[in-house]
Chain A
Amino acid sequence: MVDVTPHGADLIPPAEVGEMDLYHPHSWWTKYVFSQDAKVIAIQYSGTAMAIGLVALVLSWLMRLQLGFPGTFDFITPEAYYQFMTMHGMIMVIYLLTALFLGGFGNYLIPLMVGARDMVFPYVNMLSYWIYLVAVLVLVSSFFAPGGPTGAGWTLYPPQAITSGTPGGQDWGIILMLVSLILFIIGFTMGGLNYVVTVLQARTRGMTLMRMPLTVWGIFTATVMALLAFPALFVACVMMLFDRIIGSSFFMPAMVEMGEQSPHNGGSPIMFQHLFWFFGHPEVYIVALPAFGIVSDLISTHARKNIFGYRMMVWAIVGIGALSFVVWAHHMYVSGMHPYFGFFFATTTLIIAVPTAIKVYNWVLTLWRGDIHLTLPMLFALAFIVTFVNGGLTGLFLGNVVVDVPLSDTMFVVAHFHMVMGVAPIMVVFGAIYHWYPKIIGRMLNEAMGRFHFWVTFVGAYLIFFPMHYVGLVGVPRRYPELGDTAFIPPSVHTLNEFITIAALTVGFAQMVFLFNLFWSLRNGKDAGDNPWRATSLEWQTAGTPPPHGNFGKELPVVYRWAYDYSVPGAPEDFIPQNDPRPATQGGPA
């Protein structure tokens, strides 16, 4: 470690960051319920997201029961199956993953990691959560509406989404779904403004952009993308709501429905697909980039080694963010597009694999000759890398038009998608919870339950999704509630389906253990202390654990180094906190 100042930049005192006027709560209600403290809002976001995620988990069991043992359960009719599928997909992607990564981790970690007292617009931040909660409640209310929730599939493709043959199409289901999405987007925009402006404006002294932990880079870039991508979903939802309620024809072509000429005329369903996927593809990276950032920090901390290629990691995050806006049509290869159009999007899709691969190499090189501690966060981080590589490889298959066209409507896509966007980010969510729970609560999560949870989830996820690839390659179509007697489907598929169902129920059970652990450790966990992982970034250097209102003590911390000073040669300790002013040889905590 050499202490070098960059060329031309002598010891200029860093810009003073003004102290913000904190809102101080005066009653129990404003402290814990209508709170403007980002940390409380983060916990509210996470709790709500996990609660609705639990609903989606149960829906996936019901679907698997139907696929594994068709006809055994009377209440799972084909209509109900489609409703379960739609709600499972929509909840998991938007109401769980997006809300948890940005609303949950974003709110908790951004102010702490950049050294701010709170978000810059705390009131707007509070509104963001309450609108999100209303969106979730509207979504849940569709389960109780006449006709039940919509069964249009999570992509809500018109015209079928609002025709009478689809569950909820001519009832309340689709309306409540669209209203809920519109509310979610409004609420998210409010939160998103906060995350972006806090990173831009509220960093503490010395915290240059290139000294920020990668977690913040990931969440920041994902938020910028989400702010630009969600309007596409917003427009699509508003236009479909017009079609459904006042009978306009944005997406609805002229067609005969139930023997009658429908009132619609001249709409374009393809237009919906363009709008939806213009949001839908960036959405994949809106979930993935925070996961990338968090996993980089977990690996570096628990391997006691600086992240390999920090600059490259930052550039890759920004590059992926920009590129992800020009790949959307690879979801539409089967919609009958111009061959050159498909060629263009196949090329951009394969190009985006380059920065992604750079990140994977850098994670592996960070582990190389590191002092790897197989703690729970590290186990989940390793599971993420493996799963992400697996899911990413099948992404290369599906990114090519000629391979995608035959596979597009099979279970292969379901397997690919769940590996890369379901299991992989969820592994990071678990790793991050095991990593930061000690900071949020002040106690460690139970280790034995955690290891049980990890192994069952990790091995179980592979038992579920590896066979599913094979099932898809054999040609089993997705979206079918029941296969029936079909000549080209061998008996092994039925056996495998039963096997997958049993594995899915087992993995689901392990999640109950995890939830129990969350509550059990509130009181019974080991005392964590301020910095149990001996980590460098600012959230571990707060004035107490859990961090008090205002996060830091009287003075905001001043940052003297990057977030990855682990195992610095000559330093007395194997980590140097970011706010430690001493040179490396004398540095480290006293």
Chain B
Amino acid sequence: MSVILVFLALITAIAGWWLSRQRLMSKPWLEVGPVTAFPETEAPIMHPAKIGLGVFLAVVGALFALMISAYFMRMVYADWQAAPVPQLLWLNTAMLVLASVALQCAVVAAHKGQRDNLRLALLAGALTSTVFLGGQLLAWRDLAAQGYFATENPAVSFFYLITAMHGLHIIGGLVALGRTNVRAWRGESSAHLVLSTELCAMYWHVLLIVWLVLFAVLMGWAADFIDICRRLLS
């Protein structure tokens, strides 16, 4: 359970930093009047949708941290046989990186009001993500063709479970990205479009980071890394 605890420590640190700016030491029973504290008067108000997505991504992070925790917990048993990782995953990873880059370009284009570039970048993001999903399916087929089914051994089950869960999140994101694409082609009001583009980019960046961590875990690098840490500590 160490992975989820590290993740929670991170969340606690962020929450603690935020709370420390909320004047938790103030004495509300002495303060009467329309006065509010500095942070509330000065902080630019972020759009609620961004905060909402941020909170949701924290939940997603907890979900994957728990899955990795379970993976490591199972890994220490003697009968663990790591699954062979299809080489195709490298290509898929590259596709997801491209998608993230494309969406970042879309954000830049949206801010500058370059409508054509925005359309192009959004489309590129959606296409590369679809290719990523297709690639994941091919990787599953590859694995199944070698005789590794989900019931074969726990490591293989974990591979299918983790990639499926990540893929489902990408599919969910594609729905939102698809709607953003439609909006961009219809030429709707730009403020709304900028927001949707930013939200999509934020979601994709986080899912990319999640995937890179999952990739490291599935490849076995993460276990090696933890092993080194453990040796350094003991």
Contact = CB atoms under 8 A, between A and B. Distances in A.
A560 B66 contact: no
A231 B70 contact: no
Given A6-B35, A14-B40, A189-B56, A242 B24 contact: no
Interface in B33-82: 33-38, 40-41, 43, 45-46, 48-49, 51-52, 55-56, 58-59, 62-63, 66-67, 69-70, 73-74, 77, 79
B27 interface: yes
A404 B67 CA distance: 30
Given A267-B154, A278-B66, A6 B29 contact: no
A12 B154 contact: no
Given A9-B35, A267-B154, A15 B40 contact: yes
A212 to B, nearest CB: 9
Contact of A206 (B34, B46, B48, B79): B34
Prevailing SS type, chain B contact patch: helix
Contacts of A193: 52, 55-56
Interface string A1-39: 111111001111111001000000000000000000000
A310 B30 CA distance: 12
A13 B74 contact: no
Contacts of B8: 228, 325
A3 B27 CA distance: 12
Contacts of A232: 4, 62, 66
B36 A15 contact: yes
A5 to B, nearest CB: 5
Given A14-B36, A239-B161, A562 B45 contact: no
A468 B208 CA distance: 53
Centre residue among B28, B63, B151, B161 by max chain A CB count within 10 A: B28
Interface in B81-106: none
Contacts of A250: 70, 74, 154, 157-158, 161
Interface string B1-28: 1001100100110010001001111111
B73 A310 contact: no
A200 B51 contact: yes
B150 A274 contact: no
Contacts of A4: 30-32
A1 B79 CA distance: 70
Chain A interface category by residue count: 35 or more
Contacts of B59: 189, 227-228, 231
B45 A15 contact: yes
Contacts of A565: 29
A18 to B, nearest CB: 7
Q: Which of B19, B23, B73, B154 counts the most A-chain CB atoms under 10 A from its CB?
A: B154
A318 B49 CA distance: 25
Q: How large is the interface on B (under 10, 10 to 19, 20 to 34, 35 or more residues)?
A: 35 or more
B74 A6 contact: no
A193 B50 CA distance: 11
B48 A197 contact: yes
Contacts of A248: 150-151, 154, 157, 161
Given A193-B55, A250-B157, A310-B29, A263 B151 contact: yes
B66 to A, nearest CB: 5
Contacts of A564: 29
Contact of A268 (B29, B40, B77): B77
B34 A560 contact: yes
Contact of B33 (A274, A325, A560): A560
Contacts of B51: 197, 200-201
Contacts of A306: 29
A235 interface: yes
A314 B27 CA distance: 12
B78 to A, nearest CB: 10
B126 to A, nearest CB: 23
A558 interface: yes
B114 interface: no
A318 B69 CA distance: 25
Given A197-B52, A228-B11, A15 B23 contact: no
A201 B34 CA distance: 18
B190 interface: no
A311 interface: yes
B148 to A, nearest CB: 12
A110 interface: no
Nearest to B23: A210
Contacts of B12: 322
A326 B5 contact: yes
14 contacts: A10-B35, A194-B52, A197-B48, A210-B23, A228-B58, A235-B63, A235-B67, A246-B151, A248-B150, A271-B70, A274-B73, A311-B24, A565-B29, A581-B34
Given A12-B41, A197-B48, A311-B26, 15 more contacts: A6-B35, A15-B43, A18-B45, A196-B55, A202-B48, A210-B23, A228-B58, A239-B161, A249-B154, A274-B69, A275-B70, A311-B27, A560-B32, A561-B32, A562-B29
Considering the complex of A and B, which 10 residue pairs feature the smallest CB-CB distances, nearest first? Answer: A562-B28, A248-B157, A231-B63, A14-B36, A120-B48, A231-B62, A201-B48, A210-B28, A209-B22, A197-B52
Interface of A: 1-6, 9-15, 18, 120-121, 189, 193-194, 196-197, 200-202, 205-206, 208-211, 224, 227-228, 231-232, 234-235, 238-239, 242, 246-250, 263, 265-268, 271, 274-275, 278, 306, 310-311, 314-315, 318, 322, 325-326, 558, 560-562, 564-565, 581, 583-584
